[in-house]
Amino acid sequence: MVVSNHIANNIAVYLGSNNGTFSRPIEHSTGTGSAPYKVAIGDFNNDHRLDIAVANFGTNNVGIFLGLGDGSFTNQKMLSTSSSRPISISLADLNNDMRLDIVTVNYGTHSISILYGYGNGNFSGPTTYFMGYDSFPSSLVVRDFNNDKYLDIAVANYGTNDVGILFGNANGTFANQIAFSTGFGSHPYSITAGYFNDDVFLDIAVANYGMNEIGVLLSYGNGSFANQVTYSTGSSSPYFIDVGDLNQDNRLDIVVTNHGTNNIAVLLGLGNGIFANPMVYSTGASSSISLVIEDFNKDNRLDIIVVSNDTGAIDILLGSYEGFSYRTAYSTGSLPRSVAVGDFNNDDRLDIVVANWGSNDFSILLGYGNGSFTNQSRYAIDNAPYSVAIGDFNNDNRLDIVVANGAANEVTVLLGHGNGSFANQIKYSTGSIPRSVAVGDFNNDNQLDIVVANYFSNNVSVLLGYGNGYFANQTTYSTGSGPLSVGVDDFNNDNRLDIVVTNYFSNNVSVLLGYGNGSFADQITYLTGSGPRSVALADFNNDNQLDIVVVNRDTNDISVLLGYGDSSFANEIRGILKNEMTYASGGGSKLRYVIVGDMNNDAQLDILVANYDQMMLSTGSNSHPSSIAIGDFDGDTELDIAVTNYGTKTANILLGNGKGTFTSQTSYKIDFVSPPFTITSADFNNDRRSETIVAYDDTDNVDILVAYNNVSFETITTYISGSQSLSITVGDFDNDNQLDIIVAYQYSYNMSTLLGYGNGSFSNAIRYSIPSYPQFVAVGDFNNDNRSDIVVAHFYTNDVSVLRGYGNGSFSNTITYPIGFHPFSVAVGDFNNDNLLDIVVASGDINDVSVLLGYGNGSFANQIKYSTGSNLGYITVGDFNNDNRLDIVVAYGNTDNLKILLGD
């Protein structure tokens, strides 16, 4: 890694160790007053060794450092940029001679310069291209934007609020720029390029510093671009931008440094040119000015390095697959301080124990084995329990508990009964204010012992166990000042347990090596940050030696001490914590606790740090929602909801975020003449957005409406279908790979099919007879013959009928199944994940839904009923929280809201 130091007039080289860490910097002078701005790396003399080019703003030149292949470099050779002051630099072979050339962005002369490489480390004089008066170009990117096999240059023009593209010629020269606006006052400061919508045409993204937004310009592939689409960064001014696939979904994501707000922002790409809202990650600095995206620890996941101007720091954010799911909260006692897990009732399911400092008790939450837990059972103990640990202290194969009681100067042992309950407490004296407890076999007698960190007496207490649930009196060992957290493991590989303690007031950790007989050597101390609060142990650099990680409360960072395996440790490596879900941050966070584990199953240890019903979505008053459909109406690949409101003759669109929640709805008055009764959606014209079809209560028409970029709708085609069209569904009924429509009529014994042509238009209606009044119709392949079948709910005959499709637009005779009372709506899906389609029916008058599980041959099991407690309306299904389980949405006509039932 190479960093330019603007004030110090040098560049610093950090040699990587392939595990995400780097050597101390090796500095190379760029000359007095050079004020280097940006650096670039490439092989300039074709010796297969990396060289460095640096834009020296202060001395009007480009500095070249040729690499010797061992991490060292020659002295700088300077290439003049004449009167121009270079502020940005990029490398590419612009004239197709297999030699790297240099392009600089020049401050003051409103230009860019090209220095053509000779392949021996030397370069031509600058060729300059003027970018326009007051353009103040700030950044550039070199790519082929018009697919002519010649590289082009795209420049962010800060002053003129545009992106200027200079298209390349075959001889390495460039045409005059063509400008694409980024908006008045946008002041684009940084630019990058990538394939954002999977169309093999390079797109552009810019950081618009002046408007606190990111601009995306999608390419048409011919050298022109669509108008900019912007994404707000809130109160942050984006300063530097880059792209990479950060979540390994084969879609490019955007990363920007935010000036003034101590963070960077990540916008995940959806692969269709649209990006999710920004997620922010703390950097601890208000002037993060540059970043690099690369896999620094060789785990096949992209990491980010951020350069911060005000702190002089380089922050490394190591990539992981994803963050953590939303929390589920469980009540405990007052002021819980410590938690541990174990199987307390011997059911092979993990349970939780919590020490409640404020209520002088501890809570037991028994686990169900599916990630959920019972309500707490609480057990009283002495004053101010601060820390808890578990183990089998009496060798009865049942877990017991030991608690450090801070205000009573003792530990309490509670022997488990193996059913989730515990015997009365047994007390043992410790030092003053015990704050942390851990267990281990310190004298190699196969019996568990206890160690306690005593905060006020500046020592640890060791209580040797007899194996019957009782312990010897304490033996104390001196530590530093204010021991707060204790850990146990073997640091010198002698098969004897050792102790490590954080010393809050001494700003260090103490290591006490065990002799294997229950006694310990005098402490060895290692410096940490200020106010070390909690400690955890693991092998962080995969050298099979234990390392130490410490949370530093007062400096809001962590210290990592890498172990040598001989009881000694390297000097600490410190850094502000940066984590996807902001588990810990900079100033004022008052970090409290740390633990380690493989949180995302990537075989790499992670650090977790502690700082100090269903859903109801209103559709408006008196709206009386009558039908609901799901589709992607805004083109972000996440499922959205559309609702027709019978009472107000409107529709609501609720945009989904893929997590089972939705934005506040926006009502679109589509000027319905009649009350809309039924809605469904599909992509009939193959534009990758869902269109909607609406049927009405008192007309013979169905309308097809198309969605535009602003998620507004416009009626484009009306079809006459039959008398009072009540239900609509879509599918490919004639196997031509184009979507068709089926409409059921409320007061007749028939339905109609409109065969689609794939361009949004349809054939005239083809009518089919059915045995009873249809209330609702849905489609699916129920017998796995790759032909679409139909299920129809019959309100008055209290049944549903299944019609098997022949694949030519016609259907078999009906097979009926009894359903409760007045079946009102029907939907299909695989509810038990057996890869066979099932049916779900909402009954109008008996407050339940019925599920008919499919056998895969066109027949179904008898209904299974589920009470809902309300009169139901229309029903549909979809996976709204991306858990691979189908969910159900129901529109309540009598309560003016929607209900989302997430599947188990």
* pLDDT for the residue numbered 863: 82
Q: Give Cα 19 distance to the centre of its chain.
A: 23
Average pLDDT on 866-887 reads 65
Average pLDDT on 694-702 reads 68
Per-residue pLDDT tens digits for 30-59: 999 999 988 999 999 999 999 999 999 999
Per-residue pLDDT tens digits for 483-512: 999 999 999 889 999 999 999 999 999 999
Per-residue pLDDT tens digits for 306-338: 766 665 555 667 665 443 223 344 567 777 766
> Residue with structure tokens 């053509």?
116
* pLDDT for the residue numbered 773: 76
Instruction: Name the token pair of 540.
Output: 């962080």
Per-residue pLDDT tens digits for 187-201: 999 999 999 987 888
Q: Give Cα 118 distance to the centre of its chain.
A: 45
Instruction: Name the token pair of 302.
Output: 């992209």
* pLDDT for the residue numbered 737: 86
Percent of the chain topping pLDDT 70: 76
Is there a common fold for 1-130 and 326-478?
no
Q: Over the chain, what is the mean pLDDT?
A: 79
Average pLDDT on 767-794 reads 85
Average pLDDT on 589-609 reads 40
CA distance 80 to 101: 15
User: Residue 328: exposed, middle, or buried by beta-carbon count in 10 A (0-12, 13-18, 19+)?
Assistant: exposed
Of the pLDDT bands very low, low, confident and very high (cuts 50, 70, 90), residue 370 is low
Q: Give Cα 32 distance to the centre of its chain.
A: 45
* pLDDT for the residue numbered 713: 57
Average pLDDT on 595-617 reads 40
Q: Please, which residues bridge with residue 269 across strands? A: 275
What class does CATH assign to 1-130? mainly beta
* pLDDT for the residue numbered 509: 92
Whether the Cβ atoms of residue 223 and residue 166 lie closer than 8 Å to each other: no
Whether the Cβ atoms of residue 630 and residue 640 lie closer than 8 Å to each other: yes
Res 14 pLDDT > 60: yes
CATH superfamily of domain region 136-319: Integrin alpha, N-terminal (2.130.10.130)
Residue 136 contacts by C-beta under 8 Å, 6 or more apart in sequence? 107, 110, 157, 158, 159, 160
Average pLDDT on 160-179 reads 93
* pLDDT for the residue numbered 582: 24
* pLDDT for the residue numbered 589: 33
Q: Look at 385 and 478; give whichever has higher pLDDT.
A: 478
Whether the Cβ atoms of residue 902 and residue 661 lie closer than 8 Å to each other: no
DSSP annotation of 777: E
Across 30-66, the runs of DSSP E, i.e. the strands, are 36-42, 51-56, 61-65
* pLDDT for the residue numbered 578: 27
Per-residue pLDDT tens digits for 643-655: 777 677 777 777 7
Give the Cβ contact number of residue 760 at 10 Å. Answer: 17
* pLDDT for the residue numbered 746: 64
Of the pLDDT bands very low, low, confident and very high (cuts 50, 70, 90), residue 826 is confident
Q: Which range is most confident: 1-10, 229-238, 346-355, 646-655? A: 229-238
Q: Where are the domains of the chain?
A: 1-130, 136-319, 326-478, 492-612
* pLDDT for the residue numbered 214: 94
Res 158 pLDDT > 80: yes
CA distance 587 to 603: 31
Average pLDDT on 882-889 reads 70
Of the pLDDT bands very low, low, confident and very high (cuts 50, 70, 90), residue 266 is confident
Q: Please, which residues bridge with residue 429 across strands? A: 410
Q: Look at 611 and 782; give whichever has higher pLDDT.
A: 782
* pLDDT for the residue numbered 700: 63
Q: Look at 288 and 443; give whichever has higher pLDDT.
A: 443
Most distant CA pair in the chain, distance:
93
User: Residue 603: exposed, middle, or buried by beta-carbon count in 10 A (0-12, 13-18, 19+)?
Assistant: exposed
Closest CA to 201 of 193, 212, 210, 211: 193
Percent of the chain topping pLDDT 90: 33
* pLDDT for the residue numbered 789: 92
Q: Which range is most confident: 140-144, 274-278, 297-301? A: 140-144
Of the pLDDT bands very low, low, confident and very high (cuts 50, 70, 90), residue 366 is confident
CA distance 888 to 111: 59
Closest CA to 113 of 79, 81, 155, 159: 81
Q: Look at 854 and 673; give whichever has higher pLDDT.
A: 854
DSSP result, 624-679: -EEEEEEE-SSSSSS-EEEEEETTTTEEEEE-B-SSS-BPPPEEE----SS-EEEE
Of the pLDDT bands very low, low, confident and very high (cuts 50, 70, 90), residue 163 is very high
Res 595 pLDDT > 50: no
CA distance 414 to 379: 10
Average pLDDT on 596-605 reads 44
Res 521 pLDDT > 50: yes
CA distance 451 to 460: 7
What class does CATH assign to 326-478? mainly beta
Res 784 pLDDT > 70: yes
Res 119 pLDDT > 90: yes
Of the pLDDT bands very low, low, confident and very high (cuts 50, 70, 90), residue 811 is confident
* pLDDT for the residue numbered 900: 58
Lowest mean pLDDT among 182-196, 418-432, 602-616, 741-755: 602-616
Q: Look at 389 and 335; give whichever has higher pLDDT.
A: 389
Of the pLDDT bands very low, low, confident and very high (cuts 50, 70, 90), residue 577 is very low
Per-residue pLDDT tens digits for 673-686: 667 767 777 777 77
Helix%, strand%, coil% for the chain, nearest 5: 0, 50, 50
Q: Look at 812 and 627; give whichever has higher pLDDT.
A: 812
Beta sheet of 85-92, edge-to-edge order: 85-92, 101-107, 111-115, 127-130
Of the pLDDT bands very low, low, confident and very high (cuts 50, 70, 90), residue 896 is very low
Of the pLDDT bands very low, low, confident and very high (cuts 50, 70, 90), residue 620 is low
CA distance 568 to 534: 20
Whether the Cβ atoms of residue 839 and residue 832 lie closer than 8 Å to each other: no
Q: Please, which residues bridge with residue 708 across strands? A: none
Per-residue pLDDT tens digits for 210-263: 999 999 999 988 888 988 999 988 888 888 899 988 888 888 989 988 877 778
* pLDDT for the residue numbered 772: 75
CATH fold of 492-612:
Lipocalin (2.40.128)
3-state DSSP assignment of residue 230? strand
CA distance 688 to 686: 6
Whether the Cβ atoms of residue 801 and residue 792 lie closer than 8 Å to each other: yes
